[in-house]
Amino acid sequence: MMADSPQLFSQFFRQNGCPQKELEVCGRIFRHDSSGPTFLSFFVDVDDPAQPDRKPFVFATGPDGCHKLLSEYGRSRVHEFLVHLGCESSWVDHALEKDNRRFSMIVLPAAGESDRRRTGETREAAMPVGVRATWDGLLQCAATIPGLKEYVKRYEEECKRTDMSSDFLKREEFLRKYQSVKRVDSCDIIQDPEIFLTPRRFLNNTEHTFVDFRILLWTWFGASHLFTGDGYTQNEKGEKGSSEFLIPNLSVRELQEKGAILLPLKVLLSNGRDPDAISCFQYLHACAEKPCGGCWLG
């Protein structure tokens, strides 16, 4: 059943249906450019070509979140589901309109060690197993990045006890260096090197304070100000969402070879508009520029 679960999820999703019970799958919704999806995250450490060029792990929602997508949101309300997962609606709009990104979802079996033993798969052949997205899980992953282990140990307890809303976001150092939630959420890895911290930028260009380290976890690792470290997503209103895991950032092709399913998503803007729909003005402008001869402009 588990090996077929991604395929079953795909069928239910395409038909706007929902199974009675949760399927044993995890899902990762991710952005990509017009050329199509390649890796689960396209962020690269442009400052350090000697290091692995992509962050080694990404966030994924668990079986309960995947079930919620089918049961409560469906194909037409992916934007709202992203908000449920902890994305700000303004960020989704920015990604669609300003960055001209589109979204896809990779669905993979929620397999563990017992499943590998049962199927006889080797570690190399099996689907990658994630760790729960708690503070311990996130910092365990962060410590594998060269140069960061020292700072993980130094700031581990402060990460766990710091309240982002009532404390961190009001600190003078955060406001002076990183300005606001909106500024951090919308920063670009190329255009905003002073805001978007990669491991190399953190190590070479900052004072290595707790604020700098927490921004690194935010921009590079994806643990935003809404990340609580309890293993669940949280939306802008502070409402707990679905279980969350960290999985290896492999290529889409590699995951598909292991049985994962890729689903292109139609994500609307917060006002309900389709970002791919051409406006009347754009249509008339295009016709005026290059008349086809089949209408009153031609």
pLDDT tens for 122-178 read 433 334 457 899 999 999 999 999 899 999 999 999 999 999 988 999 999 999 999
Residue 204, pLDDT above cutoff 90: yes
Lowest mean pLDDT among 86-100, 117-131, 187-201: 117-131
Contact in structure between 184 and 221 (CB atoms under 8 Å): no
Tell me the two tokens of residue 170.
Answer: 């009001």
> Cβ(214)–Cβ(162) under 8 Å?
yes
Q: Can you give the pLDDT at residue 88?
A: 86
Looking at residues 91-101, what average pLDDT do you find?
90
Lowest mean pLDDT among 107-111, 121-125, 177-181: 121-125
Percent of the chain with pLDDT over 70: 80
Mean pLDDT of 263-274: 95
Q: What is the pLDDT of residue 56?
A: 79
Q: Which two tokens stand for residue 268?
A: 């609307």
Q: Where are the domains of the chain?
A: 1-133+231-267, 148-223
Q: What is the DSSP annotation of 169-187?
A: GG-HHHHHHH--HHHHHT-
Q: How confident is the model at residue 116 (pLDDT cuts 50, 70, 90)?
A: very low
The residue with tokens 């911290």 is 197
Q: Which of 10-24, 36-50, 235-249 has the highest mean pLDDT?
A: 10-24
User: Which of 45-54, 145-154, 248-257, 273-282 is least confident?
Assistant: 45-54
In the predicted structure, residue 53 carries a pLDDT above the cut 70: no
Please report the pLDDT score of residue 31 as a whole number. 86
Looking at residue 257, the DSSP 8-state letter turns out to be H
Q: For the ranges 120-134, 202-216, 272-286, which has the lowest average pLDDT?
A: 120-134
Q: Cβ(26)–Cβ(258) under 8 Å?
A: no
Query: Can you give the pLDDT at residue 188?
Result: 85
Per-residue pLDDT at 186? 87
Model's pTM, two decimal places? 0.77
Q: What percentage of residues in the chain have a pLDDT greater than 90?
A: 56
Specify the amino acid at residue 257.
E
Instruction: Work out the pLDDT band at 47, boundaries 50, 70, 90.
Output: very low
* pLDDT at residue 205 tops 80: yes
On the question of pLDDT at 51 being above 50, the answer is: no
Classify residue 290 by burial, with Cβ atoms within 10 Å: 0-12, 13-18, 19+. Answer: exposed
